[in-house]
Amino acid sequence: MFIDINTLGPEGLAFDRSLRLRQLEGPSRERVDEVEAHLSGSVVPDGAGADLTARVEATVPLQCSRCLETFPWKVKTDVALAVVKGAPEEAGAGAPDQASILVAPEGKIGLEELATEQLYLNLPLKPICSPDCRGLCPTCGVNRNLGSCDCAEETTDPRLAPLLRFRKKLEKPDRS
C-alpha cells in the first residue's frame, strides 16, 4: 500500500489504514511473524515534495530479556516527515535535519515501510515484561516469577573471588 505524492491535490490526503507487517525481528533478532499496525495521518503538498504527519500504533510480541517469556509491547508514536523526491541538498539555514526527511524517489510513500521503520526506531534494546520481573535462576533455570527453587544464593561475584583472601586478611587482626 502506498501514497503517490505526484497525484495529490492542493488539499492533500488524509489516510487511516490497518496494516499487517510481516517478517519482523525483535531486539535479540528473534522472529516476529506478523504484527497488526494502525497508521493514520495526512500528507499535504509542499513545493516539490510533501509534509507527512502520522501516528503509528501497534502491539508487538517481544521476548523478555530477564525471564524469556513473550509479552505484548505497545507502541504509539507520532511521525512528522518532509517527503522529497530526490536526495536532499546540503542542509542550510532553516532546512530540516536528515532524520526528518523521507526520500521517495518516484514520489511514492510505502505505508508498510514507514510503519515498520517507526516500530524499529521505537523498539527497546532490552525489553522487560514488567519492572519487577525476577528473571531466571542462573543455576537451575527456573522462572522466578512462576516459582522458587532450592538453589543456594551466590553472594560472592566469582570475578571478585580472588580478592576475598585480602579482605579476610584485613578483617583479622595480626597476632604477631
Over residues 116-159, the pLDDT tens digits come to 999 999 999 999 999 999 999 988 889 999 988 888 776 777 78
Do the Cβ atoms of 55 and 81 come closer than 8 Å?
A: no
Counting Cβ atoms within 10 Å, is residue 131 exposed (0-12), middle (13-18) or buried (19+)? Answer: exposed
Among 59, 60, 55, smallest CA distance to 111 is for 55
Most confident segment among 34-38, 47-51, 81-85, 105-109: 34-38
Cα 129 off chain centre by: 14
Predicted local distance difference test score (pLDDT) of residue 19: 93
**pLDDT tens-digit map of 23-56:** 888 888 888 888 999 999 999 988 878 899 999 9
Confidence label for 88 from pLDDT (cuts 50, 70 and 90) = low
Q: DSSP letter at 139?
A: T
Predicted local distance difference test score (pLDDT) of residue 154: 64
Domain ranges in the chain are 2-121, 135-176
- Rounded to two decimals, the pTM is 0.73
Predicted local distance difference test score (pLDDT) of residue 78: 95
Predicted local distance difference test score (pLDDT) of residue 92: 46
d(CA 10, CA 12): 5
pLDDT at 72 over 80: yes
